[in-house]
Amino acid sequence: MDRQDLRSCSNNPSNPNQNACAYAVAHTLFVHDEVRYLHTWGDMLRAVRKLWSMRSVASVVGATKRDKSVGAIRKDLMKHAAKHSDVSSYVIRVDGHVLLIDREGRTLVDTAPRLRDRRKVLNVYGVYVKPSALQRLARKMRG
């Protein structure tokens, strides 16, 4: 889809340039104002990488296996976080949606929450503090 189509079917009436679920994740990570558009996975990666380091952890947590669900990888995310103290959270993409999970496997942001989350995981990225952006992050968190 082109940008005009994405804007016309946006689920965010206050800012059609940014999808509501992507905006919620970006806002929690203090990067909602870093890019103009937040509709595609590429938009999300570009925004988050302005302030954070973001690397795929899909193969490490077993999310590359067929039909792995969000609920099924929570324990694997916690194991990964225990081994990597520098990870702050995880951005997970499922079909048509994005959510944010913390180091302890708890959902931080999900605009379409589920009691039992059986949505198939498409991408899992660990979010790490970028040393070069530490001062900018501290300023955004304060203000």
Residue 40: the pLDDT is 87
Share of the chain above pLDDT 90, in %: 59
Number of domains in the chain: 1
Residue 28 has pLDDT above 80, yes or no: yes
Residue 143 has pLDDT above 80, yes or no: no
pTM for this entry = 0.88
Please tell me whether residue 32 adopts helix, strand or coil conformation: coil
From the CB of residue 12, how many other CB atoms can be counted at a distance below 10 Å? 17
Residue 11: the pLDDT is 82
Cβ-Cβ contacts under 8 Å for 72 (sequence gap 6 or more): none
- Stretch 42-64: mean pLDDT: 92
Residue 23: the pLDDT is 93
Residue range(s) defining the domain that contains residue 85: 3-142
